[in-house]
Chain A
Amino acid sequence: MDEIFDVMIIGAGAAGLTAGIYTSRGKLSTLILNEGAIGGQMVLTNEVANYPGVEKTTGYHIASVMKKQAKDFGCKIKSNIKIDEYHLTEPVKKVKLADGREFRAYSVIMAPGGRPRSLNIPGEDKFKGTGISYCATCDGEFFTDKEIVVVGGGNSALEEAVALTNFATKVTIVHQFDHFQAFEHAVEEARNNPRIEFVMESSLTAFRGDQKLEAVTIKNLKTGETYDYPVQGAFIFIGYLPNTESLRGLVDMNSAGEIIVSPSMQTSEEGVFAAGDSIVKRYRQITTAVADGTIAALSAAEHVAGVKKKLQEAVLTPA
């Protein structure tokens, strides 16, 4: 508890690790606290082909290299921890873990990322791993020669639906609106695939089955009609939620729970910066998270220098 870090980073996804690389390379003592697995959403991406300077790689590989880079520069990383309390208003910020440990720093960078949104309907927990999946690349082959539904209307939903036709005999995309949010090329590819059917303006209200998934209940949002639709599998791609619940009331957020930041990634609290998928922004890519993390790190470094200068002046100035 005696040590005061220059920078404490919450989260070890693309934004958090990048910030850690920059601050630790800048000789700032840096601690990353991570509640989940290192790499965050980045490791959910099996193939990365548009990361500048890298022809083709995996999200896991990028995450592993980033972690090594940060550690090699002296950054300390503690993962799979649980944070209980934040104290962010004083010049020295404090974080208390569930196990009682406390850590202090002159500056905090919030990069808690996001998590896949779930439907929260009856049967979802019961059939997770036995019919419901959130990763086509991982589990697609288990659905060979089966009929499945894909829930969602964004790029992930449509691209994964097309990929799943390599295994399933029929893929039904269920989407709540009458149009898709995905890029046009993804929509076109799905529409041209003879194995894909569409159920628009509809949502799932339940997963049904005994030992395994046997049907989903679909509600037509226009007519209110509900009916059971026989399937053996369901893939859910309905976006992400920011991991910011524990930060409510501590920094300003929008109605979606995304942290509001200035162009320098400064939050509403002095000395607290934010970066990555948890901030208000339009595009969520590894590259944008890396950029956010860089800006947050440089801004935090400037803030820490200012705090230390003030502390030094206070010591030198006679009372």
Chain B
Amino acid sequence: MAMLQTGLQEIETAEELKNVINEYENVMVCCGRMGPMCIPVYEAMEELEEERENVKFFTMAFDSPESDIIKGDPACAGFMGLPFTMYYKNGKTAHATSSIQSMDQIKTVLDEKFGK
């Protein structure tokens, strides 16, 4: 059952996440809650979804045990701030960030990892 109320598609299982990152070349997943540090990231992603056709944007609920796949990713070692934002390229983790990120910071990562 979906736990996040955003305009983005929510991934609900680890299996679904694996399928998504294998199916699409460039994937961004924001793993968080409906909290003040996460909501600005979801909003930025909703806007970027309209302009970045080369990237697929998703959310995943931090409180779901299914998101252990993200929490256990080595790229997230030492993360102590929500949300955990993941960037996958060709099925592999390309980058990850912890805590709130601005639109400019997200765009920088997208440009760098996935191209403009």
Chain A residues within CB distance 8 Å of chain B: 36-39, 43-46, 58-60, 79-80, 128-135, 137-139, 142-143, 211-212, 233
Contacting residues, chain B, for A44 (C-beta < 8 A): 36
Q: Is the CB of B43 within 8 A of A59?
A: no
Closest residue of B by beta carbon distance from A37: B40
Q: Is the CB of A142 within 8 A of B34?
A: no
Q: Tell me, in angstroms, the Cα distance from A219 to B69 when the chains sit together.
A: 42
- Identify 20 new A-B residue pairs, CB closer than 8 A, beyond the known A138-B38, A142-B81: A36-B40, A39-B39, A43-B39, A46-B36, A60-B36, A128-B81, A129-B79, A129-B81, A129-B98, A130-B78, A132-B81, A133-B99, A135-B35, A138-B35, A138-B81, A138-B82, A139-B80, A139-B81, A143-B80, A212-B80
Contact A79 B43 (CB under 8 A): yes
User: Quick check: B36 and A43 within 8 Å, CB to CB?
Assistant: yes
User: At the interface, yes or no: B33 with Cβ under 8 Å from chain A?
Assistant: yes
Chain A: minimal CB distance from B57 (Å): 14
Q: Give CA–CA (A45, B98) in the complex, Å.
A: 20
Q: Which residues of A contact B47 (CB under 8 A)?
A: 79-80
The reply to whether the CB of B97 lies closer than 8 angstroms to some CB of chain A is yes
Q: Report B65-99 CB contacts with A as 1/0, cut-off 8 Å.
A: 00000000000001111100000000000000111
In the complex the two chains form, is A128's CB within 8 Å of B39's CB? no
Residue ID in chain B nearest A36 by CB atoms: B40
Within 8 Å by CB of A80, from B81, B82, B103, lies B103
A/B interface sample: 29 pairs, CB < 8 A? A36-B40, A36-B102, A37-B39, A37-B43, A37-B44, A38-B43, A43-B36, A44-B36, A46-B35, A59-B36, A60-B36, A79-B47, A80-B44, A80-B47, A80-B103, A128-B98, A128-B99, A129-B99, A130-B78, A130-B80, A131-B80, A133-B99, A134-B37, A135-B35, A135-B36, A138-B38, A139-B99, A143-B80, A212-B78
Shortest Cβ gap from B30 to chain A (Å): 13
Chain A residue nearest to B101 in the complex (CB): A129
Q: Complex Cα distance A79/B103, Å? A: 11
Q: How far is the CB of B10 from chain A (nearest CB, A)?
A: 16
Given contacts A37-B39, A129-B98, whether A60 and B34 have CB atoms under 8 Å apart is yes
How many Å from the CB of B34 to the closest CB on chain A? 6
C-alpha spacing A105/B103, complex, angstroms: 26
A37-B44, A80-B43 in contact; A130/B37 too (CB < 8 A)? no
CB distance from A168 to the nearest CB of B (A): 12
The CA of A135 and the CA of B41, in the complex, are separated in Å by 15
Distance to closest chain A CB from B70 (angstroms) = 14
Most B C-beta atoms less than 10 A away, residue of A39, A46, A80, A130: A80
